Amino acid sequence: MQTVSTKFNQLANGQVRPLKWEVRASFDKDFDEDVNFFELNTSLLNGGDVLAPSNNSVIQEWDKYKYINLSDRVISVEVESEQTEPYSVVQSMADITFNNYDNFFTPKSGSAIQDYILPRRPFRILMGFGNETVPLFVGLSTKLPEINKQSRTARFHCIDFLTYLFEQKIDNTVMLQDYSTGEILSYLLEHLGLLPSQYDIDPVSFNRINFFYVEKGATFGSIVRPLMQAEQGRLWMDELGIIRFLNRQNYPTTSVISYDESNVVDYDPPTDDDVINYAKITAKVLEEQDTQKLPEIAEVFSIPAGGTYEYWFSFSDPVTEINTPTYSATEIEDSFFTASLDKDGTLPYADVVLDSIDVFNKSAKLVFQNTGSSLAFVTGLVLWGKPVKVIDVIEVEESDQDSIDALELRPYEFETNYIQDRNDAVSKVSILVDDYKDVGSVIEFQAKGNPAVQIGDIGTIDLDGFQGDHVISKVINIMSIADGYTQRIRATHKDPRTYFILNQSLLNGSDVLSP
Amino acid sequence: MYAIELTDGTTSATMPLLHVPLSQSNVEGAVDVQTLDNNVYTDFVALKRFWAHTWRYMKESDFNTLKGFYDRQFTLFAYPRLTISELGVVDVPVRMTLSPQNIIDNCGTVEDVEVTFRETRQLEETS
């Protein structure tokens, strides 16, 4: 739960609730360099300073935009935050419909902002009661607004900054050895241009990856989702715009809100849609090998007198290191090349030298120079280096026979290179099956809404078919003039506990032994 | 005596003395929600006021004054402001509607002139 005042909670739980929303946007994307965090006895109330998150003192770049308040124009505002089940990342999106009677949001309309009605405009959304709101969303519009001439409205669709980052491509190959999930995340976020002050990574990760390898051009999202799946951690952007990663031991463990017939408007009956009673993980364990002769063989190529030749060498496995080849007339126990005045290699020719070598994980660029006055042939090229190979394939499965007997097989399988330890894999399939084997593991309901509720909160549910503590994994908040406030929640039944992993969990810590 | 005063970006006018009834009511921006235990709670955005009045007969010039305020909503892109001092209503932006011009004689007298005013906020900050 976000921290709110007693008055806020009184209104949230009250009979008559004055709704309040705030929508702000920065169409010109101007920065306000004077933005600072609010300091007691220093900052002006309702001034330009923004409230710092309670446990963090960073200033996010998106806080620095100059936002205009568009709250009076709002017809409806919707914010949806969802964690991909069963374990992964949290993404948020928002839809805002504005009154556009005067064409304020219509491009080329003579509006004061007409030059700035463009995609990727920053938006902030807050909701609350009375005079108090809590932040719910920080993100960007995806495209120009949808203008409805008949109803005189303009609708913006927005994604949070993390979702925007997921679409960004990694612009060179990444190869990391012996990195934890958190360290990889930090590396990638920094690679994408974020400052360390813009994210908060749990210092402890349970997954350590011998060899992390990503091809150039992969999107950040395509890398991070399996990383989170393997870690069973949670990556999200909080309501204040800070990117956060928590390992599963640091999830909230105590219930912060209760739901029963007095504050639930409607709920879906238990279904078997989300049941998992068989889980299988297939993981390839990669490891850097000792220096050895690489199996690939180069083709013969020629270099004109005094000229150079750029030769690309491709490897089937990634390599972390290549020994620089030198000319040798005979084979040696190291990288070398042979050169000759003829294609068959019968006339050795020592005037060919290696000018440069660049190694790119699964390829290497070698530039040869012919310093002599005759046409030369490179007739052999043998490289020695350190390849990274699959040394083990872990296949681990877990099932719950009672659930299979009752509900038929409900499998969940995934392949990953990010789980490197069999015990770890065993623990993960056990957690999966244990959490999802029963009917009614997941509940979706409409609550008497409270915008302070967050993904990851634990709520205690007391409804027919659903009892006990549930972890909230999806929240939709909608406020509108016509329909008031609707909050829809999805929550997964979970005993708040984690499983002990050898060499990773703390003795006498909060992890329990896997079933 | 109750009187209706209107102001917009062009002019101000006090309309002819009112014929009763003058009605004042609330526009509830509110939604009642029923929970599973059959109780209700109410979420509301804002309470706004609504006034309605009918002049049984109105001189052509007075009707034209009234219609001027109505028409200028769509040329000034702003609502007129209403004052009914006796009700404590002072300079309140209102969405105005006006009934058809039913002319009943050659002097241009208009019959059954109904005007309504719905309180709203003027969106001048961003426009």
The token pair that represents A381 in the structure block? 């090229």
DSSP H or E run through A435: helix A422-436
CB contact under 8 Å between A17 and B44, yes or no, is yes
Contact present, A267 and A361 (Cβ < 8 Å): no
Q: What interface predicted TM-score (ipTM) does this complex get?
A: 0.73
Check residue A502 and give its pLDDT: 54
* Interface membership of B126 toward A (CB under 8 Å): yes
Q: Which of A15, A266, A481 sits opposite B41 (nearest CB)?
A: A15
Beta-sheet pairing, A243-246 with A199-201: parallel
CB contact under 8 A, B31 and A263: no
Q: pLDDT tens, A60-92? A: 566 677 888 999 899 999 999 998 766 668 889
Phi and psi, residue A8, nearest 5°:
-60, -50
> How close, in Å, is residue A484 to chain B by CA atoms?
6
Q: What average pLDDT is seen over chain B?
A: 91
How far, in Å, are A132, A201, A223, A347 from residue A165 at the CA level? Answer: 30, 16, 12, 57
pLDDT at A500 (0 to 100): 54
The pLDDT confidence band at residue B42, using thresholds 50, 70 and 90, is very high
User: A15 and B29 in contact by Cβ < 8 A?
Assistant: no
**B contacts of A262 (beta carbons < 8 Å):** 35-37, 39
**What stretches in chain A show pLDDT beneath 70?**
31-63, 85-88, 495-515
Virtual CA dihedral for A361, A363, A365, A370, nearest 10 degrees? 130
CA distance B13 to chain A (A): 26
Residue among B29, B44, B123 whose CB faces A16 most closely? B44
The partner residue sitting opposite B31, judged by closest CB among A14, A104, A484, is A484
The residue ranges of DSSP E strands in B1-127, in sequence order, are: 5-7, 12-14, 22-34, 40-58, 81-84, 89-98, 102-103, 110-119
Closest CA to B61 of B117, B112, B107, B93: B107
Output B91 or A191, whichever has higher pLDDT: B91
CA distance A470 to chain B (A): 19
Cβ atoms within 10 Å, residue A334: 15
Q: Kindly determine whether residue B33 and residue A263, on different chains, have CB atoms separated by under 8 Å.
A: no
For tokens 């990391």, the residue is A176
Instruction: Choose the closest CB to A18 out of B35, B44, B123.
Output: B44
Task: Kindly state whether B123 is in contact with chain A, defined as any CB-CB distance less than 8 angstroms.
Answer: yes
B2 touches chain A (CB under 8 A): no
Q: How many helices (H) and strands (E) does chain A have?
A: 6, 33
Q: Which parts of B1-127 fold into alpha helices (H)?
A: 60-72
CA distance A505 to chain B (A): 43
Q: Is the pLDDT of residue B16 over 90?
A: no
Contact B35 A262 (CB under 8 A): yes
Range scoring the smallest mean pLDDT among A51-60, A131-140, B1-10, B57-66 = A51-60
Measured between beta carbons, the chain B residues lying within 8 angstroms of A11 are none
- Three-state DSSP state, A214: strand
pLDDT band at B14 (very low <50, low <70, confident <90, very high): very high
Interface list for chain A against chain B, based on CB atoms closer than 8 Å = 14-19, 68-70, 72-73, 99, 101-102, 104, 112, 261-267, 448, 463, 481, 483-485
Mean pLDDT, range B37-62, rounded to an integer: 94
Predicted TM-score (pTM) of the model is 0.78
> How crowded is residue B88: how many other Cβ atoms within 10 Å of its Cβ?
8
What A244-248 contacts at long range (C-beta under 8 Å, 24+ apart), as own/partner pairs, is A244/A199, A244/A200, A244/A201, A245/A181, A245/A182, A245/A185, A245/A199, A245/A200, A245/A201, A245/A202, A246/A202, A246/A456, A247/A181, A247/A182, A247/A202, A247/A204, A247/A205, A247/A206, A248/A87, A248/A206, A248/A498
Say if B37 is an interface residue toward chain A (CB within 8 Å): yes
Whether B123 and A73 lie within 8 Å, measured CB to CB: yes
Q: What's the rounded Cα separation, in Å, for the pair A248 and A250?
A: 5
A chain contacts of residue B125, beta-carbon cutoff 8 Å: 68-69, 72
Radius of gyration, CA atoms only, chain B: 18
- Antiparallel, parallel or unpaired: β A498-499 and A511-512: parallel
Strand partners, A319: A387
Report yes or no: A175 and A417 within 8 Å, Cβ to Cβ.
no
